């Protein structure tokens, strides 16, 4: 796996969680063998291998796989026992239902719920979020259930969309890299949308491969490359190579993806999206980045993105992010002004 950088919000949130639980993040950091200079810097990142070591140390030293971010503790080893309970299942759907029953054995424990329709299935994260102010546990559970499912069936499961039952956090722009798919905030539930067809895929892993898998997981899930293999994900990655004013048209995009234009349209339709919708979302992602630049007016941003009317931009942005451009900017400004560099122990 290529060693890529894990941004600061995904480092500080679990450290704050264990601190609220009464543990010393500084001590856990040292036990993980990580450089002190990174902990001391409010902007430094961690490589993926170092991040996996940090998460492993947090779970082991706290004896809590929820890192103090849930009303109850999940003792270290619970995830491994759940995996052992589902590895003998016949299909992904069978495994997910058994996993749901496993976590239902524990009161107030975050769990999952499947709602299956003919073409699309919603995998909902069911949790009490009062102990998770930074939404890190919500983010982690979304990632873990998607990537665990992909590992179980031996292929990247297309992730059609992500819904979050909370307003966009200050690091909302990072979700596009984390999930490589449209993310909707302020929704009624926190969930993943996947094709229903994948539920019938057989479990391709074995008890032997599970033993190797558990040597590093789930500590490395957030550090792993996204196994996303949908056309939506590929097209969004393609768009990121271009300036927002020079995004390729459908024919050019299809050629760069080595498929025909008709195939591209059909695959996007199957994934409940369209070429134009993805281009619009790419523009709005750029908008969220430019809104953090306080010297750029909202009207100038709308003009740059090609909106002839600022009101049209306002409506599109609110539909995408759940808040208006002005509210999004105010939240970013408030976050910048209220957060000071953390002490070395990351305590509150």
- Let me know if 258 is exposed, middle or buried by CB neighbors in 10 A (0-12, 13-18, 19+): exposed
Please, what is the average pLDDT of the chain? Answer: 85
Asked if residues 53 and 11 have their Cβ atoms less than 8 Å apart, the reply is no
Asked if residues 34 and 25 have their Cβ atoms less than 8 Å apart, the reply is no
Asked if residues 228 and 57 have their Cβ atoms less than 8 Å apart, the reply is no
Of 97, 95, 77, the residue nearest 150 (C-alpha):
95
Q: Is 0.75 topped by the overall pTM?
A: no
pLDDT at res. 344: 36
At residue 345 the predicted structure's pLDDT band, cuts being 50, 70 and 90, is: very low
Which of 178 and 312 is assigned the larger pLDDT?
312
* pLDDT score of 256 more than 80: yes
Cis before residue 218, ω within 30 degrees of 0? Answer: yes
Encode burial over 275-309: b for 16+ CB neighbours within 10 A, e otherwise.
beebbbbbbbbbbbebbeeeeeebeebbeebebee
What is 231-337's CATH number? 1.10.10.60
At residue 290 the predicted structure's pLDDT band, cuts being 50, 70 and 90, is: confident
Which of 270 and 137 is assigned the larger pLDDT?
137
Q: Distance of alpha carbon 34 from its chain centroid, rounded?
A: 24
Q: Distance of alpha carbon 265 from its chain centroid, rounded?
A: 26
Segment 246-275 shows an average pLDDT of: 89
Asked if residues 37 and 46 have their Cβ atoms less than 8 Å apart, the reply is no
In tens, the pLDDT along 134-166 reads 999 999 999 999 989 988 988 778 888 899 999
Q: What is the 3-state secondary structure (H, E, C) of the chain?
A: CCCCEECCHHHHHHHHHHHHCCCCHHHHHHHCCCCHHHHHCCCCCEEHHHHHHHHHHHHHHHCCCCCCCCCCCCCCCHHHHHHHHHCCCCEHHHHHHHHHHHHCCCCCCCEEEEEECCCEEEEEEECCCCCCCCCHHHHHHHHHHHHHHHHHHCCCCCCCEEECCCCCCCCHHHHHHHHCCCEECCCCCEEEEEEHHHHHCECCCCHHHHHHHCCCCCCCCCCCCCCCCCHHHHHHHHHCCCCHHHCCCHHHHHHHCCCCHHHHHHHHHHCCCCHHHHHHHHHHHHHHHHCCCCCCCHHHHHHHCCCCCHHHHHHHHHHHHCCCHHHHHHHHHHHHHHCCCCCCCCCC
Q: Distance of alpha carbon 138 from its chain centroid, rounded?
A: 9
- Tell me the backbone φ, ψ of residue 53, rounded to 5 degrees: -65, -40
Half-sphere exposure in the Cβ direction for 53 (13 Å, CA): 14
Cα torsion 315, 320, 324, 329: sign? negative
Asked if residues 44 and 36 have their Cβ atoms less than 8 Å apart, the reply is no
> Where do the domains of the chain lie?
5-72, 89-213, 231-337
Asked if residues 269 and 251 have their Cβ atoms less than 8 Å apart, the reply is no
Structure token digits, residue 288: 């969220």
pLDDT at res. 154: 83
At residue 87 the predicted structure's pLDDT band, cuts being 50, 70 and 90, is: very high
- Tell me the backbone φ, ψ of residue 4, rounded to 5 degrees: -110, 165
């Amino acid at each position: 796996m290529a060693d890529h950088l894990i941004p600061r919000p995904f480092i500080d949130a679990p450290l704050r969680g264990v601190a609220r639980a009464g543990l010393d993040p500084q001590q856990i950091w040292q036990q993980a063998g990580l450089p002190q200079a990174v902990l001391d810097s409010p902007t430094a990142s961690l490589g993926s291998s170092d991040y996996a070591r940090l998460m492993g140390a947090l779970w082991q030293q706290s004896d809590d796989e929820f890192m103090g971010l849930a009303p109850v503790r999940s003792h270290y080893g619970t995830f491994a026992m759940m995996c052992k309970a589902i590895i003998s299942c016949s299909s992904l759907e069978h495994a997910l239902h058994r996993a749901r029953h496993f976590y239902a054995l524990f009161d107030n424990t975050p769990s999952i719920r499947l709602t299956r329709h003919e073409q699309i299935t919603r995998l909902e994260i069911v949790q009490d979020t009062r102990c998770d102010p930074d939404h890190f546990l919500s983010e982690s559970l979304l990632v873990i259930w998607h990537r665990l499912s992909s590992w179980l069936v031996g292929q990247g499961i297309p992730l059609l969309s992500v819904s979050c039952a909370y307003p966009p956090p200050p690091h909302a722009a990072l979700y596009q890299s984390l999930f490589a798919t449209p993310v909707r905030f302020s929704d009624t539930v926190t969930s993943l949308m996947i094709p229903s067809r994948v539920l019938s895929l057989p479990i391709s892993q074995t008890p032997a491969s599970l033993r190797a898998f558990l040597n590093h997981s789930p500590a490395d899930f957030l550090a792993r490359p996204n196994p996303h293999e949908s056309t939506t994900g590929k097209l969004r990655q393609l768009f990121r190579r271009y300036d927002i004013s020079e995004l390729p048209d459908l024919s050019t995009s299809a050629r760069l993806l080595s498929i025909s234009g008709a195939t591209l349209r059909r695959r996007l339709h199957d994934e409940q999206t369209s070429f134009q919708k993805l281009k619009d979302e790419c523009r709005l992602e750029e908008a969220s980045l430019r809104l953090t630049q306080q010297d750029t007016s909202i009207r100038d941003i709308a003009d740059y993105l090609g909106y002839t009317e600022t009101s049209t931009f306002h409506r599109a942005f609110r539909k995408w992010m759940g808040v208006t451009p002005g509210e999004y900017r105010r939240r970013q400004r408030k976050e910048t002004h209220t957060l000071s560099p953390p002490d070395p122990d990351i305590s509150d």
